[in-house]
Amino acid sequence: MHFFETDEQAMIRELVRDFAESVLSVTVKQRDSTQSPPLEEWQEFLDLGLQGVTIPEQYGGTPVDDISESIIIEELARVDPSFAVMYCVHVGLCSMTIALHGDEEQKSKYLPRLVAGEVGAYSLSESGAGTDAAAMSCRAKLNDAGTHYVLNGEKMWVTNGTQARILVLFAKDVDHADYGEKRHGGSTAFIVESGFPGFNVGKKEDKLGIRSSDTCTLILEDCMVPVENVLKGSGNGFAIAMNALDNSRIGIAAQALGIAQGAFESALRYAHEREAFGKVIAHHQMITAYLADMATQIEAARLMVYRASAVKQEHYENAGPRHSKEASMAKLFAGDTAMWVSERAIQILGGYGYTTDFPVERFFRDAKITQIYEGTQEVQRIVISRAIQP
């Protein structure tokens, strides 16, 4: 077991920290208040060459180890959780899903475009199918010529939805043998481009947190998707969706870890500056204890996130066991840590923590979503409990 960062991991952390502090921190507050996506920041980020970390070199990617991927997300979220989730969805749910499940033609066509900076997204949820993903009502039907699937329905909660050019999107093929037989029967994964006829962006959500992350509804009205854009054949979509979430839940856990770290550092700084009763509040026993507990909780979350990342890498590189349980445990624990630590941070700052003058109220609002998206905390417990049978 190795509990220390490699030189490469330390270098990546420094690179991303520098970007986050010098670029993202300048605009994060304004973008949060106006709900503007970080488009210029994304263009600057592309210079770092980290948008292709889940894409093999032959398609232009720059693969890194899985702990490094989590470190990147953690460092982005420490300053700007909205940018972190934009990145997490691009590299995880979209790029990696195509890299894992795409055929040669699909990979050659789409992966270089994702490396070039076209934004990726993933679209599974619907108004009546969030936790119960198998209940999706979006339908796909092959046209008479056999050239295109025609997609109809509405998808919801799509991160990067208004900006994405390339999406991994799920619908049920009504002609598949399992359609109507199994609950998830006919579920099919499609690579959809935002320019395809019948693809429309719907309502943009007005959210409590991660307000600079763009979240919207998609409306598919006879959306024409070429047959060659089906991932792994019709009917195999549900397993692809679940596998993508196993991968990406570790990214959300890393995002939660970064949120907790950012909130903690803010509270720590404040506690060492603010005086009450003749000494800095960090030296008042109750605040000291809060800070110690926060630091301990964060360190535990960090170990779980990095270990889940290592188990994921082992799964793909050496056919190790699936990482579903570790991913869900990391997300469950880190999500609760982000929520708890950011709440304590507000408590330490008192009235100031409740204002927008300090970033802790933003971290608090941003933390909440990590207990909800990519599977609620309740879903993580279902996945974990299924994996710990006697």
| Nearer to ligand COS among residue 41 and residue 126 (C-beta) | 126
Question: Which CB, 94 or 133, lies closer to ligand COS?
Answer: 133
CB 89 within 8 A of CB 121: yes
Q: Quick check: 243 binds ligand COS (CB under 6 A)?
A: yes
Of 72-80, 193-201, 209-217, 367-375, the window that binds ligand COS (rule: CB under 6 A) is 367-375
State the nearest-atom distance from the C-beta of 348 to ligand COS, in Å. Answer: 32
Burial of 166 (0-12, 13-18, 19+ CB in 10 A): buried
Cβ–Cβ under 8 Å, residues 80 and 247: no
Element (H, E) at 311: helix 285-318
Q: Which stretch binds ligand COS (CB under 6 A): 20-28, 95-103, 196-204, 378-386?
A: 378-386
The stretch near ligand COS (CB under 6 A) out of 5-13, 22-30, 39-47, 375-383 is 375-383
For residue 194, the SS3 value is: coil
Tokens 């709900």 label which residue?
A: 35
- Main-chain dihedrals φ then ψ at residue 141, nearest 5 degrees: -140, 130
By C-beta, is 261 or 324 nearer to ligand COS? 324
Task: Choose between 5 and 314: whose C-beta lies nearer to ligand COS.
Answer: 314
Beta carbons of 193 and 247 less than 8 angstroms apart: no
Token output for 345: 């941070």
Q: How far is the CB of 320 from ligand COS (least distance, A)?
A: 14
Least distance between ligand COS and beta carbon 226 (Å): 25
CA angle 314, 9, 243 (to 5 degrees): 35
Which residue from 15, 46, 100, 134 is in contact with ligand COS, where contact means CB under 6 A?
134
- Regarding 169 and contact with ligand COS (CB under 6 A), the answer is no
184 binds ligand COS (CB under 6 A): yes
Is residue 326 part of the contact set for ligand COS (CB under 6 A)? no
Site residue total, ligand COS (CB under 6 A): 23
Question: Does 148 help bind ligand COS (rule: CB under 6 A)?
Answer: no
Q: Is 374 a catalytic residue?
A: yes
Query: What is the chain's alpha carbon radius of gyration, rounded to the nearest angstrom?
Result: 21
- Which listed range, 58-66, 210-218, 276-284, 373-381, lies at the site for ligand COS (CB under 6 A)? 373-381
Taking residue 249's Cβ as centre, other Cβ atoms within 10 Å add up to: 31
> Bridge-partner residues for 220, per DSSP?
153, 199
Show contacts with ligand COS in window 85-124 (CB under 6 A). 124
For ligand COS, what does the binding mask look like between residues 195 and 234, x meaning CB under 6 A?
----------------------------------------
Rounded Cα distance between 292 and 334, Å, is 17
Of the candidate spans 7-15, 165-173, 236-244, 276-284, the one that interacts with ligand COS by CB under 6 A turns out to be 236-244
Distance in Å, CB of 151 to ligand COS, minimum = 18
Catalytic residue among 75, 126, 361, 374: 374
The answer to whether 306 and 70 are in contact (CB under 8 A) is yes
List the structure tokens of 242.
């679940």
Contact partners, residue 73, CB within 8 Å, separation at least 6:
84, 87, 88, 251, 254, 255, 258
CB 238 within 8 A of CB 133: yes
When asked if residue 373 is in the footprint of ligand COS (CB under 6 A), the reply is yes
Rounded to an integer, what is the distance from CA 366 to the centroid of its chain? 13
Show Cβ contacts of residue 112 under 8 Å, excluding neighbours closer than 6 positions.
Answer: 59, 60
Task: Tell me the closest approach of the beta carbon of residue 321 to ligand COS, in angstroms.
Answer: 12
3-state secondary structure of 121: strand
State which residue, 335 or 375, has the beta carbon closest to ligand COS: 375
Footprint of ligand COS on this chain (CB under 6 A)?
Answer: 124-125, 130-134, 157, 183-184, 238-239, 242-243, 245-246, 324, 373-375, 379, 382-383
Active-site residue list: 374
